[in-house]
Structure 1
Amino acid sequence: MRNKLLTMLVALPMLAWSMTAAAANPAVGRWKTIDDKTGEVKSIVEIYSTTDGSLAGKVVEILKSDKGPNPVCSDCSGDRKNKPIKGMVILWGLKPDGDNEWAGGIILDPANGKTYKSKMELHPDGRKLDVSGCIAFICRAQTWVKE
């Protein structure tokens, strides 16, 4: 009984802190990714705050894939090679860069295994998020919608 009480005393402040951190950052949450070429909803990405204060995002659901129901990142390199895309961190290292803007991150396109410099900007309504990936001056952008 004493161990359970001690665990609760330790866990409650941590839970309250994580809820406050999520409420403080409007980009944190689940986002529908909208394909910029077809306009179709492809997946759900959950954006979260990391321990260093940056934002990261992982694929939590795949809604439409050309590679079947459980696609893997066959074109990825390193530890992501041939790993399931569901559960994969595809966005990391984004730091605040103004009001409702984040930059300096990396985004992975699991369709081709390539990584790009990334930035994000939240629309004033808080329901849409512009996410872009760039190589040099060539950029590709998608607008994600809050779930």
Structure 2
Amino acid sequence: MKRFIFAALLLSVCAGFAFAADPVEGYWVSIDEEGKLTAGWRIYEQSGVLYGKILAVAGKPRDTIASDVKESYKDFPVQGAVNKMTVVGTPWIWGLTKKNEGQWAGGNIIDPADGKMYKCKITFRAADGKKYKEDTLEMRGEIGMGIGRSQFWKKSTPEEIDKIQ
């Protein structure tokens, strides 16, 4: 009986690790190149694919329409006219697949401010007390052949994102 209990306990612990969320998942605030907070995001995995939705945009009402984007994009995960969707609640990041723990690539990101679409890579950078003072998400947008730029997003909470005005 003791062996059975031990085996069951060990199995439940291992199963917990197997289903633990990837460190990129959760709530993040995007920070631009000048260090300014631009938006609050929720990054989530669904059926092995990574997505990201904006939950709040600094300086914009939550019902702002993404009128500066195109009407459609190849493989966009939501049906309908993209330029009629709200900035908040639309998955502007989609199609990334897991390469390693904390590393996703092969998807896309759209900047709803100008409608430009980029190839997207996301890498979790754990706080190390040196280069990364806190858990950081490296969000890299590329136009091809490794040409692009990275932003470094900060871990957040739903409550903090709720306060973004």
TM-score range normalised by the length of the shorter chain = 0.7 to 0.9
Aligned to 2:159: none
Q: Does 1:72 align with 2:65?
A: yes
Aligned to 2:46: 50
Displacement of 1:80 in angstroms is 1.0
Equivalent position amino acid for 1:136 in 2: G
Q: Which runs of 4+ in 1 moved over 3 A?
A: 19-23
Aligned to 1:35: 32
Show structure 2 runs of 5+ residues with no match. Answer: 1-15, 72-80, 128-133, 157-165
Task: Give yes or no for contact 1:55–1:92 (8 Å, CA) kept in 2.
Answer: yes
Q: Does 1:135 align with 2:130?
A: no
- When residues 93 and 34 of structure 1 are mapped into structure 2, their CA distance, relative to the original with a 3 A threshold, is same
Equivalent position amino acid for 2:148 in 1: C
Structure 1 CA distance for aligned equivalents of residues 20 and 140 of structure 2:
24
**Could you say which structure has the larger radius of gyration?**
2
Question: What pairs with 1:1-147 in structure 2 (closer than 5 Å)?
Answer: 23-36=20-33, 38-51=34-47, 53-65=48-60, 70-78=63-71, 79-125=81-127, 127-137=135-145, 138-147=147-156
Question: How many residues matched?
Answer: 125
Equivalent position amino acid for 2:54 in 1: V
Secondary structure of the equivalent of 1:81? helix
- When residues 136 and 99 of structure 1 are mapped into structure 2, their CA distance, relative to the original with a 3 A threshold, is same
Task: Name the structure, 1 or 2, with higher relative contact order (CA <8 Å, separation 6+).
Answer: 2
Give the TM-score taking structure 1 as reference length. Answer: 0.75
Give the TM-score taking structure 2 as reference length. Answer: 0.68
Displacement of 1:70 in angstroms is 4.1
Equivalent position amino acid for 1:129 in 2: L
Displacement of 1:64 in angstroms is 3.1
Task: Give yes or no for contact 1:102–1:120 (8 Å, CA) kept in 2.
Answer: yes
Taking every aligned residue pair, what percent have the same amino acid on both sides? 34
Displacement of 1:42 in angstroms is 1.0
Show structure 1 runs of 5+ residues with no match. Answer: 1-18
Displacement of 1:69 in angstroms is 6.2
